[in-house]
Amino acid sequence: MSRLLTYVTLLFILYFTFKYVYSGDEHNKQQTSTTSIAITTTILRPDVSFTTWLDYHLQRAKYIMVHMDDPENTRETIEQICSTRPNVILRNGSQTKPEMTPESRIMLRQQDNVLEAIMYFLDPTHPAAWLVHIDTDELLYEPGGETERSWNHHQEAGSVKFTNHEALPLMEEVDNPFVSCTSFRVSSGGTKHFMAYGNGKAAVRLSSRVAPSGPHAFTGYRGDLYKVPAEEAMVLHYPTPSYERWVAKYKHFGQFGDYWYDDPTVPNKMDFMKRSRDVVQMAVKSGDWTEARAFWDSWVPKQGSSEWREDVEMERVRKYEPLAGLLGAKGQDRLDL
């Protein structure tokens, strides 16, 4: 009888051990499948910061899909960078609207590229639960890292909206803005002094009817729109970190019009962008860069000035070091006056 009891007891122990271990594994698999993220981006020409961008985001993302906007001239370089990173998927980007000026056509191409990424990551052979669309001059920064309360763990959310902050430009030449630029103008202080957009970026929980709605949002998702608190996650944007990069950008943009997509119903309200176009194109034609340089310098904050001290004191400018976590340092703090 005692042997029978011992045998039955062992069976119960084995049963419950198997049950809880198995169910725990299944729970972990389910969590992974419902919270995993993929990132998609479109790149024109890579520089030294691109490898930093990839390696930084591969710590968080299951996959990254990179669309080449100029595959004919950049394929060899980008393939070489991506070949040692197996979770990076490389694609030829959309070539729609070649006749349109670059500042507008890139957004239409991004929309096509994001749609391709949606279809790719809905495929069960390489699935992801969430898709984030950001550019290669942006970092998705989560000061506390991923936790059970992170944005991608919100079961009722169908899409999330990230606040974006903008890196302040520097007087000196910048090789890698993700390392050099650590002061940011925060969007909560207003976006009047932003050099680029200030309306945030988005992620979406993937499902069959999801589609991009421009470069900053999604449509067709199931669930609520969750506006992520900035202390939880944000997008850090490095649009024009130095004079040299600013000149290169607006040479590339060329003599674009005052309307997005050449559509009079969609005016471009970004004054810095339009003024940059004017002074750079004037300098290109005349060869005299004096006015362009003066305009640029007027946008570079003077550290130690009364305006700087006020911005820091009111926390309209903050310090963020998203790469500092890799070095074991603190990732954000107030700036010194």
In the chain, what are the domains? 34-237 (3.90.550), 242-300 (no CATH)
**pLDDT, average across residues 70-97:** 96
pLDDT greater than 70 at residue 336: no
Return the closest-CA partner of residue 323 out of 132, 65, 174, 139.
139
What is d(CA 219, CA 117) in angstroms, rounded to the nearest whole number? 15
Looking at every residue in the chain, the average pLDDT score rounds to: 89
What is d(CA 34, CA 194) in angstroms, rounded to the nearest whole number? 35
Q: What's the full length of the chain, in residues?
A: 337
Ranking 22-26, 67-71, 89-93, 116-120 by mean pLDDT, the lowest is 22-26
Q: For residue 92, what pLDDT is reported?
A: 97
pLDDT greater than 70 at residue 282: yes
Residue 150: alpha-carbon gap to chain centroid: 17
Q: Render pLDDT for 14-35 as a digit per residue (tens, 0 to 9).
A: 443 333 333 333 333 444 478 9
Q: For residue 190, what pLDDT is reported?
A: 75
In order of 62, 65, 273, 326, the CA distances from 126 in angstroms are 10, 12, 39, 28
Q: Render pLDDT for 180-235 as a digit per residue (tens, 0 to 9).
A: 999 999 988 677 889 999 999 999 999 999 999 999 999 999 999 999 998 899 99
**pLDDT, average across residues 166-176:** 95
Question: pTM of this prediction?
Answer: 0.88
Strand, coil or helix: 90:
strand
Is residue 334 a contact partner of residue 312, using CB atoms and an 8 Å limit? yes
Q: For residue 188, what pLDDT is reported?
A: 80
**pLDDT, average across residues 294-314:** 93
What is d(CA 144, CA 238) in angstroms, rounded to the nearest whole number? 21
Q: For residue 180, what pLDDT is reported?
A: 95
Q: For residue 334, what pLDDT is reported?
A: 52
pLDDT greater than 90 at residue 294: yes
pLDDT greater than 60 at residue 9: no
pLDDT greater than 80 at residue 253: yes
The dihedral sign for the CA sequence 310, 316, 322, 325 = positive
Q: For residue 85, what pLDDT is reported?
A: 96
